[in-house]
A = this chain, B = another copy of it.
């Protein structure tokens, strides 16, 4: 690459080079993921008993994905047709231009398929890595970490690879970012259902398994006699692996699209078609490209000695993430210099990376029992379940303050450096190292699964201890990951909202808070996360209820089950969870698409802008509150189980279990679903913007 000051022709060459580089990086990422995947599957799959359990989980997970994707295919086709008719072929005559080629619909389909593919890859490898992690854990901590982490890396690197490939190729073909926005919409659609459906599945299975197994029958967690154990293990994969991957895939592509769209406005262009190759528009793609390289290099730093303890394991994960971040910054600095862009953009990317880390660390502070908030929460179990509930809700609410201030500061600074373009670019910076941050996050459920398998296959208790250590480490990185997912979702959604405002092209003053329609939209928007959280929590309640009935039925009707002489009907429990999740994800999913469109049509474009801001504000805070309250309850219980405050079986432990059970849908269903809600509504607004003029 070379400086762009020499004129237009150089731009084109630089452009082609940058897009080419992005495509190469995407392909390299997928090849790297493939090599790692082969490495994982080459490992010893273990004894026949282990393989049997592993296959049951694989079949359950595949059955879920098959059902989910079949249902979604209908939804996706309907939306694609709507996009083709109203946007691409412009039957209402509002879009202007039209073009006659269904570009938006096509981008949408590619986005939906890309998101589905990323989820499928991540889950396929996770359900193969779990048994192999259990087998490796017989040897020691480090080999087990390697298998689990490699499988997480497959997921992380696939997500960024597919995401970058999709955005850069579509942008190169259409050169119109409003068409490429369809790719983001496709990714969001799948993400919503994956998060909501997966979240409902995993918690229905978890709560159902715990309430009947642990509480009513008094058998240990993950006991093979419990008919819901396989469903519980499947849930970790469909919820925490596939759901999380789809969520961040969406943020990743959304932030790039929003930055390009805002760059178009900043350059004063009418559309990206005329100046699509301006360095300012290509910078987000380039930062993401550099990020993929940095993430791949970072993964090589995640290794420890044979005698590694927990602290060293955590440190090795952190080293990988920090090194990747440093590499991104160096690469970005060089790129900005060579492209002749304003160096202030470097600070924007830095701010994005740092803000993500602070929000993640704040989540860790509030939810890890190494720190005082969760320790104090555990102490509130002394006076029973009511006080630990009040304490956890208070903790969750209080934990919104640091992320809130960080987001506000990041917004203010990046805007000061580079306008709304800067705010969106900060999200790209935050997500640039996603390949490795997602890997540290996605390996947790694999370790969790390995522990379950060790239990079910009656392996040496030392194996379970090692997988528990990995799982506990996974909880810490998962808390960080959740904070990170929320922070990036907010910046992405803000960028998309700003891009929407540019797209509808209405006056700055029309978005005024003194406009009653903006306020009306804002209150409706603020209400949406509450409605969404309520619907998803009640859905978990209903699906878990069905699971409880089924598990009770099996214990009642299958003679010899409790004694261990007869086998549980795992498949039936898996089917119950799958059906529950499918049924329950429809209403919240449709609401997220229909409400913004209706508000845009009935109350107008300004009201829809208000709706997005209202939803972003409350969605952000509610998501943080739910994630951190849930995480803190979970770890308060673990803290007591580690022998503090009376330990397992004490009254304090009973109280903490209540907190943990309430926290489950908080942190794994409703909270994460809010990330998607705010992004999906923003991208729906952006894609359908011409209709609201």
Q: Hey, which bits of chain A sit against chain B, CB under 8 A?
A: 211, 215, 380, 383-387, 389-391, 393-398, 400-401, 404-405, 407-408, 411-412, 415, 420, 423, 494, 498, 501, 507-509, 511-520, 522-524, 526-527, 530-531, 533-535, 537-538, 540-541, 544-545, 548, 609-610, 613-614, 617-618, 620-621, 625, 657-658, 661-662, 665
Contact = CB atoms under 8 A, between A and B. Distances in A.
Contacts of A380: 541
B523 A620 contact: yes
A526 B661 contact: no
Given A383-B548, A614-B617, A621-B526, A540 B404 contact: no
Contacts of A401: 527, 530-531
A189 to B, nearest CB: 24
Contacts of A415: 516
A583 B511 CA distance: 43
Contact of A385 (B408, B501, B520, B658): B658
Contacts of A614: 617
The 5 tightest CB contacts between A and B, nearest first, are A386-B661, A397-B534, A509-B509, A526-B617, A398-B534
A391 B541 CA distance: 8
A516 B400 contact: no
A348 to B, nearest CB: 13
A345 B420 CA distance: 42
Given A386-B662, A404-B527, A411 B621 contact: no
A397 B620 contact: no
B391 A389 contact: no
9 contacts: A390-B541, A390-B665, A391-B538, A511-B513, A513-B518, A513-B609, A513-B613, A522-B613, A526-B617
A393 B626 CA distance: 11
Contacts of A665: 390
B412 A520 contact: yes
A496 to B, nearest CB: 13
Given A397-B533, A407-B523, 17 more contacts: A383-B548, A384-B658, A390-B540, A390-B665, A391-B538, A393-B662, A394-B534, A398-B538, A411-B523, A412-B517, A420-B516, A498-B514, A501-B513, A509-B512, A513-B609, A526-B618, A530-B625
A540 B389 CA distance: 13
B383 A516 contact: no
Contact of A397 (B387, B531, B617): B531
Contacts of A404: 523-524, 526-527
Contact of A390 (B412, B535, B618, B662): B662
A420 B423 CA distance: 33
Contacts of A420: 514, 516
A391 to B, nearest CB: 6
A541 B533 CA distance: 26
Contacts of A618: 526, 617-618, 621
B617 A538 contact: no
A527 B411 contact: no
Contacts of A658: 384-386, 389, 658
A98 B533 CA distance: 50
A501 B515 CA distance: 12
Nearest to A540: B390
Contacts of A545: 383
A411 B519 contact: yes
A519 B520 CA distance: 17
A333 B215 CA distance: 64
Given A509-B509, A658-B384, A501 B526 contact: no
A396 B385 CA distance: 19
A411 B610 CA distance: 14
A532 to B, nearest CB: 9
Nearest to A414: B516
A544 to B, nearest CB: 8
Contacts of A390: 537, 540-541, 661-662, 665
Contacts of A610: 513
Contact of A527 (B400, B537, B538): B400
A233 B530 CA distance: 35
A420 B610 CA distance: 17
B530 A514 contact: no
A520 B411 contact: yes
Contacts of A394: 533-534, 537-538, 541
Contacts of A517: 412
Contacts of A548: 383
Highest count of chain B CB atoms <10 Å: which of A380, A389, A530, A540: A530
Contacts of A384: 211, 215, 658
A435 to B, nearest CB: 29
A160 B661 CA distance: 47
Nearest to A617: B526
Contact of A389 (B524, B625, B662): B662
Contacts of A527: 400-401, 404, 621
A540 B509 CA distance: 44
Highest count of chain B CB atoms <10 Å: which of A420, A512, A513, A621: A513
A618 B613 CA distance: 12
Nearest to A603: B412
A520 B391 contact: no
Contacts of A524: 404-405, 408
A8 to B, nearest CB: 31
Highest count of chain B CB atoms <10 Å: which of A423, A518, A617: A617
Nearest to A619: B526
A533 to B, nearest CB: 5
B514 A494 contact: no
A423 B533 CA distance: 30
Nearest to A609: B513
Highest count of chain B CB atoms <10 Å: which of A415, A516, A541: A516
A512 B508 contact: yes
A548 B387 CA distance: 12
Contacts of A520: 408, 411-412
A453 B401 CA distance: 44
Contacts of A494: 519
A548 B383 CA distance: 10
A385 B659 CA distance: 9
A390 B215 CA distance: 18
Contacts of A613: 513, 519, 522
Highest count of chain B CB atoms <10 Å: which of A534, A537, A540: A534
